[in-house]
Amino acid sequence: MAAIIEAARDPDYPAEIVLVISNVPDVAGIERARRAGIETLTIDHRDFSSRVAFEAELERALRAANIELICLAGFMRVLTGDFIATWQDRILNIHPSLLPLFRCLHTHEQALAAGVKQHGCTVHFVVVELDAGPIIAQAEVPVYPRDTVDVLSARVLAEENKLYPLALAKVAKSLLPL
């Protein structure tokens, strides 16, 4: 999120961040967005009796802010098929692997255990099946024999911070009128 905020400061960037929503109170990202002058909102999923009720409130907030694209960044909730269908091709997510390899969690551990020579990150559109949506962009990093999870994670994160703003710009430009 911080990388997207920085990119969006450029007047020529094709997207504007108008709202940052967290489902967890008091996270660093909310404070970071506030310091950048971006409207923030916390919708704590634990305050709702179901995912559908939580998503109804999320939907209301997104519509009230006239949101066109959703960028998930550290949002660790599985969205329902109905919510995803409503926002089809307008929800982006970043995943710390070269999809379709190493879906879901613990991707760096999976990459090291598999002995791959390349790892990386993927920005993709969100679909019902986790980490299976159409790929927008990917970035690769080498995997070295002495890498630990922390070292590999840091190398991938550096690429995520470059890739997500570029992928968002690509998608946002495709939505601009000709």
Q: Annotated active-site positions, please?
A: 95
Query: What DSSP designation does 134 have?
Result: P
Locate tokens 């710390």: which residue? 96
Is residue 105 within 8 A of residue 96, CB to CB? The reply is no
Maximum distance among all alpha carbons in the chain? 50
Query: What DSSP designation does 82 have?
Result: H
Separation between Cα atoms, residue 13 and residue 166, nearest integer Å? 10
